[in-house]
Structure 1
C-alpha cells in the first residue's frame, strides 16, 4: 500500500524529520515500511500489506495519521461532518444478509462537466490510482483516505453513492481489487458514515451546485465495540516493566479507546475501528501499550540459561542400539547357563552352579557370553554362510557383571577380524566411551594366536581357535568374537563435539598401492601419509591383496589420499607433487610403491 506524506499532513502536523526517521518510527511501532520514493516533491511510502492484515483501520491515510498522532503526541484533525439528506427508500440497489452488514446509499445531483480538482488527481496518481471522472475519483479518494470502499452509479439525471460493509469471508470470494482487499480485512460499519461525510464534503466543494437529495441506510449487523478487562499486574508481568497508570490511560485514549482503572483492574472499550477482531483479548492491550511505549525503550535483560545434564540411556541399551542400528548385527538371547563341553573348550571356569539345572551338562552359570554365542552360531550356520550376532546380558565369572558379546561368522577370517574391530570402534565412538584401548595379547584359551587383541579396561577381540570351533560343531568358515565388560567401561558426561569447517574449494583424491611387510601396521602407513604433506586432509583404507606376485609375509595395501586446497583449486601439477611427496614418505616408513 502506498501512503503520501503530503496527504497525511491534511490530518496531522507531522514533525520536521527525515523520511528515513518517519519510516523507522512507523516500522518500529505500527506497520512495516519497505521503502519510499520521491514523487513531485512528495514522499510516497511503500507499506508491506502483510503488516496490515489485522489492522483494517490502517488501510487509509487517516488511519496512518491517527497512529502518527499517537506516536508523536500531535493533534489529529477530525474528518469533516456534513448535514445529511433526508431519509428515503428505493435507492439501495440490493441487500443480501449473507453478504452485507450495512449499506448506505446517497442520491445526489452533480454537474458531470466539472473536472476533478488537480490536487485530488495528483494524489491519486501518486498512490497508483488512475483518474477517471469527478465522481469516480472522489470515490477512490475517499477509499484511500479512510479505507472505506464505495461505488458510484448513474440514476437518471443524478448519481447514487453506495457504501457497503461486506462480510469478510464473502469479500474474499470476490474479484481481487483494492476495494475487496479492504473489505476482506473486516471493516467496521461506522466507517460508512465517515466515507459518506467526506464524499459529500468534497463533492460540494468541487461542485457547489451539487445537492444531496436523500439517503437510504440499511444496517444488518452493526459493529459492537469490544470490551476488555486486564489486570495491571499481568500487564507488568508481560511487558517486563511497570507503566504508570497515567501513561496507560494516555496511550489507550489516544488510540481511541475508552479506558478506566479501578484498583488493579483496567477496563477498556475499544473503538469501532479496532473492534472487528483486532482488539479482543487482554494480550492485545499489552501489545498496544508495549509498542506505543516503545519496544526499544524496554530494558533488556540477559537471558538466564540453565544447563542440566540430560538423563542418558544405560550403556547396555546404547550398545544394543549401536550394534543393531549402525552395525547391522542381529541380537540374540541365550540362557544364563552354558554347556560343559563348550566351557571346557573355551578354557572357562564356572564357579556358580544351579541347584536344579535344565540338563545334567548345563548346571553351571555362564562366566562369558562366548560359549553361548558359539552354540547360536552353529545353529544358524545350517541356514546361513555369513552373519553377525550379538548379545548383551549378565555373566557370572565370580560376581554378577554385565557383558556385551559379538560374533561374526563367514568364510574370510581376516575380513571378520577387521569388521569386529570396526564394531568395537563404533561402540567407542557412538557410546562416547572415555577410553577403549586395543593392545597386548589376551590370555584366553578360545582365542587364535594369529589374530587376537586385549581390550582395556576389560574384554577381548580375536578369531576363535579351530579346535574350539570344531567342539562347537562349526566345521566351515571362520568366526571372530568380541567380549566387552560393560561394568568396567566409562562414558563422557556429554557427547564429543568437534567443529570441522567445510571447504569452500573442491577436494581432490588419488589412490596409492604400496607393498608393506606384515610387521608394518596399517596405523603407521595411515599416519605417515597423513603427515607427509600439508594439503593431505584424510587417508582412507581401501583394501589389501595377497597373491603369487606378493612376497611371503607381505601384502599390497591400497589407500585413498584426499587433498584439500587452501586458496585455489588444485592443478594437476600440484596434485602430482603431493602424490610424489606421500609416496616418498611411505617408502621411508617401509611401504614402497608396487
Structure 2
C-alpha cells in the first residue's frame, strides 16, 4: 500500500512532525511504514506501507490520517460530501435477491457527463502512486478508494436494461469483464445484473458491456457492501485479485457505502460535469447491518485495562482520560456505566474489534508499547509437566536417533487431500484459499508436500517426521487428536533379504518398531487388508498394537505421486499418538557394569527363507541363559547361482555375547551354551555351515 504524505497532511494540517518522524510513530503503533521515499518539487514523501489483513480500514489515506490524528491528539475533519439538489426524478430501482451476500447497495444517477482523460490533482497523485489513469470518471472511483478506502463502480446508464438486480449467477452464465476476459459462472457467484444480463462480478470486477467509454453521457454510480467469504470465493475461483476484491474480502465498512457514493458523485460533478437526477437509492439488509455497522456495545472497565497493561515508564499508568481520548479518536463512542466503566459502541469500519481485550489492545497500541515498563507478571506455583511431555520426548529422541528430521507443516489441507488421506475433513467458514479450506484430518498431506518440496530442490534422500494435531468431527464439534507422520524417499539400500524396491518399507517399519519398543506393548502385528486409497495396491500395511489399529504404513500411490510430480517412490506412515500414548512408557533399568571380560561366539547356519530372524532370536533367548547379553545378525548371504547356498535358502552369521556379573566365564560353560544354541538352531531347520 502506497501513501502520499502531502495527501495525509491535507486532512491533518495541524501535524508539524517530519515525514520520517510520522513514519516512525505510525510503525510503533502497528501501521507499519516499510519505506520512506522523498518526492521531487517539495511534494513530501511516499510511504510504502505494510498494512495487516485485519486493518482494511487503514488501507487508504483517510484511514491512516485517522491513526495519525489519534497519535497526535489533533482533530480529524469529516469528508466534504455536500451535493447539489438533484433534478426531479425517481430514485433508480435496485433489488437485492441475495441478502445473505449483499448487505447494502447504493445507486445514484448523473446525466450529461463528459468523459475524457484525467487532469490536475487526480492525475498528479496517480503518477506519484504509480496508479494507471483510464478516464476521468473511472479514475474518480479509484481515487475514492485511495482516499477513503471503499470500492465503488460507475456504469454507463444507457447500457443498463431495467432495474439493478444483485443476485447469484445462473449456472453457465458468461460475463465479459473489464480486462477483456470472459468468465463462465458456476452458479453460486454473486453478480450485479440488470433485468436481462449480468453486468459484472460483484466486488471483483465490472463488466465490459456496461463500461464507461468516451461516448458515455449518463452514469450510474454504485457503492455497495458484499459478504467477504463470497468475494474471496469468486476471486480465487476465477483467478482475479483486484483492488476491490482485496478490500471486500477482508471486510469493508457497510456504513461507508453511502459516503463513498457521495464522494464519487461530488468529484464527477466537479470534473466531468453533468447533473444529479433523483435521490440516492440506498437498500440496506437489516440482518447484515446488525452484524457489522450496528453491533452491540462492548463493556470496558478501566481497572481491567490497568491490570493487564501494567505500569508505564512515567509511572502514571493508563488513566480513564487516556482510554477515552484514544478510543474516541479511533471512532468509538463511550457511554459511562459507572466509575471507570463504559459501554463502547464500535466504529463500523473496525470489524476486527470484537471483545474487551481488543479495545484494551487498541489503547495500548496507540499509547505506544514502548511507553510501558518492562515488568514480569506475577506467578505462583510450580512448573507442571504436561501429560504427553514424556512420551513426546521419547518419540523425538527415538526418531532423531533413527535419522529422521523433525518438521512442521500447515494445519490446513485441501478438500481433495482431506478425502484422499482421511475420507473427509472439517471445512472452515472463512478459508484462506481453496487449497487450504479444511482443518487437516491427517498429517500425511503436509508430509507428502514437504517431501515433494525437498525433491524439487534436488534433495533426493529425505527422512522426515512431524508431531502435530489432526482434526476430525464437524464444524459444530471439532475433535483434536495428537498424531505422528513419517516420510521417507531416496537412499534405499538393498540387502540379501530385502530388495531395493522394498527397502524403504522395512526402514520405516524398523523406525516404528523402535518407537513401539519404548512403550509397554506386545509385538506389533501387520495386516495388508482395508488400506486407505492413498496406499499403492499391495504396498502397505495396517499396524496393530494389543489388538487395536495404531498406525498405517505404505507407499504413496502412483496417482497421488503424479499429482505432486514425484519422480521417485515415497513412503509414508501415520501413527495415532492418542492410542500409542495410552500405553505406559517402559522404564529403563540401569545395571552395574560387569568387571569380568565378555566373550563372543559366532554361529554360521543356512536357513530356509521361511525362517525369519525373529524366530532365530526368540529361540536363542528361549534357552534362558542368564549370561547371554546380546544377539546380533552380523551377515546375511545369498548365492544367486545356488552353488554356495542353495536356492530358497540364505546363510546367516549370528554373533552372541556372554558376560557374567559374578565371575570369569569358563570354557566348559561356553562350550555347553554354544552346543545348546547350535542344537536349537538345527531344530529350527538350520544347517551348520562349514
Other-structure match for 1:384: 616
Q: CA deviation at 1:411?
A: 11
How many residue pairs get aligned? The number is 374
Match for residue 212 of structure 1 among 258, 276, 290: 276
- Any idea what the Cα deviations from partners look like across 1:53-111, whole Å, max 9, x if unmatched? 12222121111101111011122121003146367333548764243211111111344
Q: CA deviation at 1:381?
A: 12
Q: CA deviation at 1:13?
A: 2.3
CA spacing shift, 1:416–1:68, aligned 2, 3 Å: same
1:25 aligns with 2:25: yes
Match runs of 1:214-253 below 5 Å: 214=278, 215-221=280-286, 222=289, 223-241=293-311, 242-253=317-328
Whole-angstrom distance in 1 between the partners of 2:344 and 2:673? 90
Match for residue 266 of structure 1 among 324, 342, 353: 342
Other-structure match for 1:159: 219
Q: 1:474 aligns to what SS in structure 2?
A: helix
Whole-angstrom distance in 2 between the partners of 1:192 and 1:59? 16
Computing the radius of gyration from Cα coordinates, the structure with the larger value is 1
Match runs of 1:42-81 below 5 Å: 42-49=44-51, 51=52, 53-81=53-81
8 Å Cα contact 1:390/1:407 also seen in 2: no
Q: CA deviation at 1:388?
A: 7.8
Other-structure match for 1:301: 375
Whole-angstrom distance in 1 between the partners of 2:139 and 2:673? 104
8 Å Cα contact 1:61/1:145 also seen in 2: yes
8 Å Cα contact 1:388/1:407 also seen in 2: no
8 Å Cα contact 2:227/2:249 also seen in 1: yes
- Any idea what the Cα deviations from partners look like across 1:183-206, whole Å, max 9, x if unmatched? 112222220122123223323433
Whole-angstrom distance in 1 between the partners of 2:521 and 2:95? 83
CA spacing shift, 1:390–1:233, aligned 2, 3 Å: farther
8 Å Cα contact 1:99/1:166 also seen in 2: yes
8 Å Cα contact 1:101/1:219 also seen in 2: yes
8 Å Cα contact 1:88/1:216 also seen in 2: no
Match for residue 191 of structure 1 among 238, 250, 256: 256
Q: 1:300 aligns to what SS in structure 2?
A: coil
Other-structure match for 2:665: 448
Match runs of 1:271-290 below 5 Å: 271-274=347-350, 277-290=351-364
Whole-angstrom distance in 2 between the partners of 1:68 and 1:187? 21
Whole-angstrom distance in 1 between the partners of 2:18 and 2:665? 87
What CA RMSD, in Å, does the superposition of the two structures yield over aligned residues? Answer: 4.5
Whole-angstrom distance in 2 between the partners of 1:330 and 1:57? 54
Q: 2:294 aligns to what SS in structure 1?
A: coil
CA spacing shift, 1:80–1:309, aligned 2, 3 Å: closer
Match runs of 1:173-188 below 5 Å: 173-174=234-235, 175-188=240-253
Other-structure match for 1:470: 672
CA spacing shift, 1:386–1:409, aligned 2, 3 Å: farther
8 Å Cα contact 1:55/1:278 also seen in 2: yes
Other-structure match for 1:5: 5
8 Å Cα contact 2:92/2:108 also seen in 1: no
Match for residue 330 of structure 2 among 251, 255, 267: 255
- Any idea what the Cα deviations from partners look like across 1:318-341, whole Å, max 9, x if unmatched? xxx99x959x999999xxxxxxxx
8 Å Cα contact 1:80/1:197 also seen in 2: no
- TM-score, normalized by length of structure 1? 0.54
5+ residue gaps, structure 2, are 159-216, 312-316, 402-512, 523-591, 595-611, 635-653, 681-690
8 Å Cα contact 2:226/2:248 also seen in 1: yes
- TM-score, normalized by length of structure 2? 0.47
1:34 aligns with 2:34: yes
Whole-angstrom distance in 1 between the partners of 2:303 and 2:345? 19
8 Å Cα contact 1:226/1:271 also seen in 2: no
5+ residue gaps, structure 1, are 334-367, 371-379, 393-403, 422-440, 450-464, 479-594
Whole-angstrom distance in 1 between the partners of 2:268 and 2:325? 36
